[in-house]
Amino acid sequence: MPKPLVLPGGDLPVVMADAGPWITLAYADALELLLAPGWPLVMVDMVLEELTRSDTPTSQRIATWVAEQRIFVLATEVCRRSSGRRQRHLGEMAIQEAMHALALNVPPRRGVFLFEDHKIARASFLLPAGCSKVTTRSWLMFLERQGWLESAGLSCVSTAPPLPASRFRATRPLRSGPPAARCAGPR
């Protein structure tokens, strides 16, 4: 059973992304959009492992950005137990572990899980109350509605239908000078 997590950001929602959104935003040179709302961004160790264990067009870009931005990397039991094993869905399992730990906080912490795999949208992928599953496309639409993104430029992201993002609300005033998203594709 996971223990409650002590993370920065008070009662702000915690953002955790599966590998897909990291790769998509890295190709678009727009990783900063993970930080746009000012909410804490946490990367689970298993997702970092999945993204950086092989040399890919985005692996070094993601590893460098995570280090430069001092993104908190959360150690999970899933990663510890699967050391060196290549198995499907371990990143998602590690994120589920982390989200359940958020729910154990008093009061429970809200979590936003970003994903691109349509299978995660199914009801069988369980998250505790207060935690939401959101596609990359819905995330970009949310940022655009809040004024943190000029245009979501959705031609470069998943074409899966967006999940309702209406339950997201800005928890702080809009920034001046929203980050500009670039959708140039692979470089």
- Bridge partners of 73? 43
pLDDT at site 74? 92
Domains in the chain: ranges and CATH: 14-156 (3.40.50)
What's this model's pTM, rounded to 2 decimal places? 0.76
Distance from C-alpha of 93 to C-alpha of 143, rounded to nearest angstrom? 27
Task: Write out the H or E segment, with its range, that includes residue 73.
Answer: strand 72-74
In the chain, the amino acid numbered 122 is: R
pLDDT of residue 155: 44
Pairing label, strands 14-17, 111-115: parallel
Work out the pLDDT band at 153, boundaries 50, 70, 90.
Answer: low
Residue 170's contacts (CB-CB under 8 Å, 6 or more residues apart) are 37, 146
Count, in order, helices (H) and strands (E) of the chain. Answer: 6, 5
Judge contact between 36 and 143, C-beta under 8 A. Answer: yes
Q: How confident is the model at residue 158 (pLDDT cuts 50, 70, 90)?
A: very low
